[in-house]
Structure 1
């Protein structure tokens, strides 16, 4: 998720920084598009769960449905916690971008890092005694999630402001054995995370991964494959836990071997994504108009921002 957050901050810096008069409209459309996509997935998989004989995947009654529908709960799908957090980040983005443009980048990183550490401690240790107040718990939980996620988001904005990726690209573009060294760097990040599993390092390893991955010279086939996956990545994120945990676990784990299970999961998620998009784009066209449909039907969402020099 820190990769999405970084990419979101990076992309929003450019998309919101061009015309201040349209920021509110842009953000409104951006959030509406995501919600439409989310609601389609929610309703579709409720129907699938019912037909598959697993209505318990959406237990909790109408109240629970409304809480999930309006992003106040992620009880149906644990991966959906980021929906609410992303919406909050989009709403805060104009202010954050304005502050980061005005003040020294190092100072903003330090301030963001302090907020991240405090929020992380509260998320893990639960130091605040909130009692049984459900509403207060919900608000504090939302603030803590924003606090722990804003660091990668802010770093993404700063990377865009300082053109850091462009500088890295220009400096290392002609370096010998660049691909090999970058792949070794990514492997070291994986090993580091394997030995030190704490979430606290996730933003740092994610940012390092993005830098290394983008420096790798990719084949045309790989670029096209990544583009396809990027165009469907939001749907993959919204649906994958339903497929491998809630509704079709037996089907997903049938191949038995991890790599085959992973590929099979991606394939099924992509198949569902094509169906979702077949519903999504006509609705989007009627609700927000043709002018917001991006070329090649790419959504303006966090997972699909391309970082380039």
Structure 2
């Protein structure tokens, strides 16, 4: 179904679906040293002597920037919707607005934990039963991993901690972008300066004598990693603040030239990111471009027919993120790489991960249904006379 000229939730699901596919490609083909025990793959194509699986696998790191950009964008849109509802009740109560901001951030943190803990409660016991050496049943390990403050069970879960910190910092972003003198140009420049400072200036302080000990701490490691990715989240807030995704989409949807340029731009991003070899330094700039190009392509007649599967995958992106690496790295790697040809390996991991997501959702629906049934029998209301 078409999402019209506004950047909608369906568009967000579409981009998330593509982002999770990039993540699977990244973890399957960007780390040859993780493919062990005789497992291997054959790339379908070779571009200038470089296998296409490797190129797409390295580009797949873009998934982090996409998720963070959409996270910042969606968080801002949700907050503005909440703010409008509160303003309709009492437009002059500033304390209510301030309270709303802190409560909103807290509720977003709570909503982050719900899907994480649902997967955690099922996957971790399975890992322990299977004898996964990384998953310890000690209470301290369970606590730190369940809270997401020090994740050791799965290396690909690092994103949770960063996203958690960014959500807690969201009130600061709102106060900055909602100031009276706000300007898109000035704020975009500020984000670029911040990103440059994080990438080049702040690391220099790690070599200063008085800061060297703190720079070696676990706390600094987590904070600095979050800062490295923060520009992507902040850029999402900035684009939402000025409603740029909808405004740009409305101007270019349905135009043949825009479709051609979008396709070329996506191919160019893959080549540019691979050739520049600058990692994530400029991903905060590429992320909105990727989102807009993708949405424009899927607003064509052919795109509208094909977008439904990607939206469905996007709906399961969180569960797939939290489970897929167990299959391709730890539990059944030889099975995942059994098809050999890289596209088939990718499709197999996608199928297994998607099926596991459906199963997890079914298990929790059954648990909730059973709980409500038992709760209704134990705490029913007395029938009226």
After TM superposition, the score normalised by the length of structure 1 is 0.81
Taking the aligned partners of 1:201 and 1:280, their CA distance within structure 2 comes to 39
Give the secondary-structure state (helix, strand or coil) at the position aligned to 2:295: helix
Shift of 1:177: 4.0
Shift of 1:279: 3.8
**1:205-256 residue CA offsets vs partner (Å, 9 max, x unmatched):** 2222112112212534323212211110011111111111122211111111
Give the secondary-structure state (helix, strand or coil) at the position aligned to 2:224: helix
Task: Flag the 1:23–1:133 CA change in 2: closer, same or farther, 3 A.
Answer: closer
Task: Flag the 1:122–1:61 CA change in 2: closer, same or farther, 3 A.
Answer: farther
Q: Which residue is 1:4 aligned to?
A: 67
**1:260-297 residue CA offsets vs partner (Å, 9 max, x unmatched):** 1111111111111112222445778999xxxxxxxxxx
Partner of residue 119 from structure 2, selected from 22, 37, 41: 41
The 5 A counterparts of 1:250-269 are 250-269=334-353
After TM superposition, the score normalised by the length of structure 2 is 0.66
Q: Which residue is 2:133 aligned to?
A: 56
Structure 1 gaps, min length 5? 288-309
1:248 aligns with 2:346: no
Shift of 1:195: 1.4
Give the secondary-structure state (helix, strand or coil) at the position aligned to 1:58: coil
Partner of residue 178 from structure 1, selected from 258, 266, 282: 258
1:29 aligns with 2:107: yes
Q: Which residue is 1:119 aligned to?
A: 198
1:94 aligns with 2:167: no
1:16/1:94 contact within 8 Å kept: no
Taking the aligned partners of 1:66 and 1:158, their CA distance within structure 2 comes to 35
Taking the aligned partners of 2:256 and 2:296, their CA distance within structure 1 comes to 12
Partner of residue 67 from structure 1, selected from 127, 141, 144: 144
**How many residues end up aligned between the 2 structures?**
285
Stretches of 4+ moved more than 6 A in 1? Answer: 122-126, 129-134, 282-287
**1:74-103 residue CA offsets vs partner (Å, 9 max, x unmatched):** 322222111111122222223212311212
1:198 aligns with 2:278: yes
Segment of structure 1 superposing worse, 115-124 or 257-266:
115-124
Q: Which residue is 1:208 aligned to?
A: 289
Taking the aligned partners of 1:151 and 1:283, their CA distance within structure 2 comes to 39
Q: Which residue is 2:355 aligned to?
A: 271
Partner of residue 242 from structure 2, selected from 137, 140, 162: 162
2:134/2:152 contact within 8 Å kept: no
Give the secondary-structure state (helix, strand or coil) at the position aligned to 1:57: coil
2:105/2:170 contact within 8 Å kept: no
Return the index of the structure with the highest Cα Rg: 2
Give the secondary-structure state (helix, strand or coil) at the position aligned to 2:217: helix
Q: By percentage of residues, which structure has more helix?
A: 1
Taking the aligned partners of 2:175 and 2:367, their CA distance within structure 1 comes to 34
